[in-house]
Structure 1
Amino acid sequence: MPAQPQRLSECFPSGFEPRRTQAEIMSRIDDALSSGHRHIILCAPTGVGKSHVAMAFARAMGTSHTLTAQKILQDQYTADFAWALPLKGKSNFPCVVLCDKAAVDPSSGWDASVSCSRASCSWTEKDHGRKKTVTCEHKPMPAQYSVEGRGTEAESVRPLAEGKACHYYDQKYRALNASHTVFNYAAYFLTRKYPPSGAADMLRRKCIVADEAHEIEDQLIDMVGMDIYRSHLSDVNLSMSSYATDDIDGIKRMVEAAADAYHREVRDLEDEHGGSMAPAVAERVARFRRRRDDLDAIFHEIDRAPENMVVQRGEGGGVSLKPLEVGAHAQRYFDAPCQLYMSATVHRDVFCSTMGLEASECAFIEIERSPFPPQSREVRFADVRRLSARSSEDDYAAVYSEAARILAAHAGEKGLVLTSRKDQCDALAAHVRSEAGEAAAARLKIVHNDTGEERERTLAAHARDGGPSVLVSPSLWYGVDLKGDLSRFQVIIKAPYLSLGDRRTRAKMERSDAWYKYASLTKLLQGMGRSVRDSDDHAVTYVLDAGARSLIGAMRKYVPSSYRDVLGDALR
Structure 2
Amino acid sequence: MILSLLEKFPKQFTPREIQKDLISQIEQELKSGYKKIILCAPTGVGKSLVGATIASYFDSSFTVTASKHLQDQYVKDIPFLKSVKGKQNFPCLKLMSSENVDNSRRAMRWGLTCDKGQCQERISKNGKEIIEVCKFKPTIKQVENKAQDSSSCTYYLQKYDALVAKHSLWNYHAFFQIMKFNKKLFEDYLDRKVSIFDEAHKIEDQIIQFVGFDIFSGQIDECNLNSEKYDFSDLDSMIKLTDDIAYSYAKKIKDIKESPVFQNEPDYELITRLERRYDKAAQAKIDIADNKDNFVVNDPIRDISGNFRTISVKPIDVSKFAKTFFETEYQIFMSATIDKNSFCENMGLAKDDVAFVDAPKSPFQIENRRIDLLNIRRLSYGSTEEDEIEVIKTIDRILDEHSSERGLILTSSIPRCQKILRFLSPKNTRRIRICHSNNKDGKTQDEIISEHASDPTGVLLSSSLWEGVDLKDDLSRFQIIAKVPYPNYKEKRTKAKMDKFPLWYTSKTLTKLLQGFGRSIRSEDDWAKTYVLDTAVNNVFFKAQQMIPKAYYDVLGMENL
Q: Given the two structures, how large is their TM-score scaled by the length of structure 2? A: 0.91
Question: C-alpha root-mean-square deviation of aligned residues, in Å?
Answer: 2.8
1:75 aligns with 72
- The answer to whether the Cα contact below 8 Å between 2:379 and 2:534 also exists between their aligned partners in 1 is yes
Q: Which of the numbers 201, 216, 221 marks the counterpart of 2:203?
A: 216
1:47 Cα deviation after fit: 1.3
Amino acid at match of 2:123: E
2:387 aligned with 1:395, yes or no?
yes
How far 1:524 sits from its partner (Å)? 0.8
* CA shift for structure 1 position 110: 3.0
The answer on whether the counterparts of 1:142 and 1:198 sit within 8 Å (CA) in structure 2 is no
Deviations 1:325-344 (A, max 9, x none): 01111111111110000112
- Equivalents in 1 of 2:254, 2:168: separation in Å? 34
Partner SS for 2:141 = coil
Structure 1 residue 370 corresponds to structure 2 residue 356 = no
Which position in structure 1 is the counterpart of 2:430?
442
Structure 2 unaligned blocks of 5 or more: 303-307
The answer as to 2:318 corresponding to 1:326 is yes
Task: Find the counterpart in structure 2 of residue 154 from structure 1.
Answer: none
1:139 maps to 137
Alpha carbons 1:143, 1:198 under 8 Å: kept: no
Shift of 1:542: 0.5
Gaps of 5+ in 1: 148-158
CA distance in 2, matches of 1:275, 1:114: 28
Kept in 2, the 8 Å contact 1:492–1:544? The answer is: yes
Structural mapping, 1:452-531, within 5 Å: 454-463=444-453, 465-531=454-520
Whether the aligned pair in 1 keeps the contact of 2:436 and 2:445 (CA below 8 Å) is: no
Give the conservation status (yes or no) of the 8 Å contact 1:70–1:479: yes
TM-score using structure 1 length: 0.89
Matched residues in 1 for 2:63 and 2:444: separation?
Answer: 24
Residue 378 of structure 2 contacts residue 534 of structure 2 at CA under 8 Å; is this kept in 1?
Answer: yes
Q: Distance in 2 between matches of 1:263 and 1:178?
A: 40
**In the TM superposition, what whole-angstrom CA distance separates every residue of 1:250-308 from its partner, at most 9, and x where no partner exists?**
22232223224334545776897799988xx84x5565454333223312211321111
Tell me which protein shows more helix as a share of its residues: 1
Closer, same or farther: CA 101–512 of 1 in aligned 2, 3 Å: same
More displaced stretch, 214-223 vs 357-366: 214-223
Q: CA 1:571–1:526 in 2, change beyond 3 Å: closer, same or farther?
A: farther
CA–CA separation in structure 2 for the residues paired with 1:118 and 1:262: 22
Which residue number in structure 2 is paired with residue 352 of structure 1? 344
380-389 or 76-85, which deviates more: 76-85
**Partner secondary structure for residue 173 of structure 2:** helix
Match of 1:550 in 2: 539
> Contact 1:119 / 1:286 at 8 angstroms: preserved in 2?
no
Note if 1:532 corresponds to 2:521: yes
Pair 444,139 (structure 1): closer, same or farther in 2 beyond 3 Å:
same
CA distance in 2, matches of 1:490, 1:285: 50
CA contact (8 A) 2:339 2:507 kept: no
C-alpha displacement of 1:566: 0.9
**Cα distance in 1 for residues equivalent to 2:250 and 2:344:** 39
Q: What secondary structure sits across from 1:116 in the alignment?
A: coil
**May I ask how many residue pairs the two structures share in their alignment?**
550
Counterpart-to-counterpart distance in 2, 1:121 and 1:270: 21
1:299-323 deviation per Cα after TM superposition (whole angstroms, max 9, x unaligned):
2211321111111233242320111
Select the residue among 409, 412, 418 that pairs with 2:410. Answer: 418
The verdict on how the C-alpha distance between 1:380 and 1:216 changes in structure 2, with shifts beyond 3 A counting, is same
2: CA distance, partners of 1:414 / 1:276 = 59
SS of residue in 1 equivalent to 2:323: helix
Post-superposition CA distance 1:207-253 (Å, at most 9, x none): 11111111111221223233111211322333433444433222223
Measure, in 2, the Cα distance between the counterparts of 1:454 and 1:334.
33
Query: Residue 305 of structure 2 aligns with which residue?
Result: none
Which amino acid counterpart does residue 141 of structure 1 have in structure 2? T
CA contact (8 A) 1:400 1:428 kept: yes
Aligned equivalents of 2:421, 2:147: Cα separation in 1: 56
1:295 aligns with 2:295: no
Change (3 A) 1:134 1:107: same
Matching residue within 51, 55, 58 for 1:54: 51
2:42: which partner in 1? 45
Correspondence for 1:190: 177
Deviation, 1:506, is 0.8
Identity of aligned residues (%): 37
Residue identity matched to 2:540: L
Residues 570 and 480 from structure 1, CA distance in 2 versus in 1: closer, same or farther, beyond 3 angstroms?
A: farther
How many Å separate the matches in 1 of 2:406 and 2:474?
Answer: 7
Residue pair 1:118, 1:287 contacting (<8 A) in 2 also: no
